[in-house]
Amino acid sequence: MSDARARVGTVHLVGGGPGDPGLITVLGRRVLEEADVVIADRLGPRSLLGELDPGVLVIDVGKLPGHHPVPQDQINALLVEHARAGRRVVRLKGGDPYVLGRGGEEAEFCRSNGIPVEVVPGVTSAISVPAAAGIPVTHRGVANGFTVVTGHELLPSLPGEATTPSCS
């Protein structure tokens, strides 16, 4: 076994921005180019996957609402499996890994299994999408703050009440 395969690899949780390949950070792009394995979300900058070296293993784990072909526990297992094999693993995510992206869970799982993790923050769609549409999220005299809330979580219900989606 070569030295490269004898040592534990690293997992990089890379925020790819809102899908536009021009909005991934310079560090995110560099880490992606150095990857041995890329585990890619549906909302990341997927066009960048075509620019990778042919030997890079790309695993599509993209989820749709109500359709998760690769459940989160399997994604976590893939991260650890490939890192234990000495590979440089990139978990390419949309937006920022720590903004409604389950990056905290993935980092915690990897670290609890002895895998080093580097988080590469990304441009979150909560800020970039309004900006692309010409809408400032803050504006002097109009809005001095903003809140990010997910719109697809279920609210807990009291006994006898229907469960309703959160839309706030």
Q: How far apart are CA 154 and CA 148, in angstroms?
A: 16
CATH code at 10? 3.40.1010.10
Instruction: Report yes or no on 132 lying in a domain.
Output: no
Average pLDDT over residues 2-22: 84
Is the residue at 50 inside a domain? Answer: yes
For residues 167 and 19, give the distance between their C-alpha atoms in angstroms, rounded to a whole number. 23
Can you tell me the distance from the alpha carbon of 127 to that of 66, in angstroms, rounded to the nearest whole number?
25
Query: Cα(53)–Cα(82) distance, rounded to whole angstroms?
Result: 17
pLDDT in tens, 104-154: 999 999 999 999 999 999 998 888 889 989 999 999 999 999 898 877 656
Question: Is 66 a domain residue?
Answer: yes
Mean pLDDT, the chain, rounded, equals 88
Domain contains 68: yes
**Residue range 65-86: mean pLDDT, rounded:** 94
Q: In this structure, is residue 154 part of a structural domain?
A: no
Residue 42 lies in a domain: yes
Residue that wins the pLDDT comparison between 150 and 160: 150
**Pick from 62, 79, 74: nearest CA to 13:** 79
In sequence order, the 6+-apart residues with CB closer than 8 A to the CB of 146 are 126, 137, 138
